[in-house]
Amino acid sequence: MNLVGATTKDLILELVRRGVLNPSKARRMFAPVDGPAEKLRMADKWISGNGEAYAYMTKTATGLAGRGIKFGARLLTEEIRWGDGVRWSIMNNIIPYIMFRMVQENPKLKGMVTLKIRVPRGERRRDKPKKVLG
């Protein structure tokens, strides 16, 4: 096969054909990246499967908001991960979507939940901006 001018996909498939690259690894290279709609679906699935944890997060969030205290999504998720009693599993990439659903369901949480925003490499961490949901 002439590899001059070949696409990345063609190169990877040729490496699999020659036995240099594992086929399962090649499949992962072509897997679609999860978009916002897929992550929101994953968050909804997590909420329906972990109702007790979500109820605890909502109760804690409304309690803090009722006292006028702004809080980060990380506070709630780390509490359900490492708090006393049952430990719940939650993926970091769906946390903003879970918090989005929580704010949708509880309008009094608007403006009270903060999310970290990624800072480009080389910028100072202490200047890291925060996004307020609502």
pTM: 0.64
Amino acid identity for residue 129 in this structure: P
Give the residue extent of every domain in the chain. 36-132
For position 50, what pLDDT does the model report? 92
For each of the chain's 134 residues, which pLDDT tens digit applies?
566 677 777 777 888 888 888 877 777 666 666 678 888 999 999 999 999 999 999 999 999 999 999 998 888 888 888 877 667 888 888 898 999 999 999 999 998 888 765 555 555 555 555 666 65
Question: Which residue, 50, 51, 79, 86, is CA-closest to 64?
Answer: 79
**At CA 124, angle to CA 132 and CA 131, rounded to 5?**
5
For position 124, what pLDDT does the model report? 54
Q: Which two tokens stand for residue 56?
A: 């605890």
